[in-house]
Amino acid sequence: MLTQQQIDTFKERLLKEKAKTEGYMENREEVYDEGELSHYDNHPADSGEELFLRERDQALTELDEEFLSDVDKALLAIENGTYGKCEVCGEDIELDRLEIIPEATLCIQHAREQEENEHLTDRERPVEEDVLNPSETAARKQLDGTDEPGQSTDAFSQVEDFGSSDTIADSEGNHDPTRE
CATH number of the domain that residue 87 is part of: 1.20.120.910
Cα–Cα–Cα angle for 145, 109, 90, rounded to 5 degrees: 110
What domain range is 85 assigned to?
Answer: 4-29+44-106
Lowest mean pLDDT among 6-10, 14-18, 83-87, 113-117: 113-117
Q: Which residues pair with 85 in a beta bridge?
A: 92
- What's the pLDDT at 120? 73
pLDDT score of 148: 47
Structural domain includes residue 158 = no
- Residue 125 domain flag: no
What's at 178, amino acid-wise? Answer: T
List CB contacts of 138: < 8 A, sequence separation 6 or more. 147, 150, 151, 152
How much is the pLDDT for 54?
A: 86
> 121 in a domain, yes or no?
no
Q: Could you tell me if residue 86 is inside a domain?
A: yes
Residues 6+ apart with CB under 8 A from 107: 86, 88, 89, 91, 92, 93, 94, 97
Q: State the pLDDT at residue 29.
A: 74
Question: Which pLDDT score, from 0 to 100, does residue 133 have?
Answer: 63
Model confidence over 141-171: pLDDT tens digits? 556 555 444 444 566 666 666 666 666 666 6
**Is 152 contained in some domain?**
no
Q: How many domains does the chain have?
A: 1
* Residue 39 clears pLDDT 70, i.e. is over it: no
Whether 126 is covered by a domain: the verdict is no
pTM of the model: 0.60
What is the model's pLDDT at position 46?
77
Question: What is the spatial distance between Cα 40 and Cα 46, in angstroms, rounded to a whole number?
Answer: 11
Residue pLDDT, tens place only, 54-103: 899 889 999 999 999 999 999 999 999 999 999 999 999 999 999 999 99
pLDDT tens profile 101-147: 999 999 999 999 998 888 776 666 666 666 666 666 566 655 655 54
The answer to whether residue 65 is domain-embedded is yes
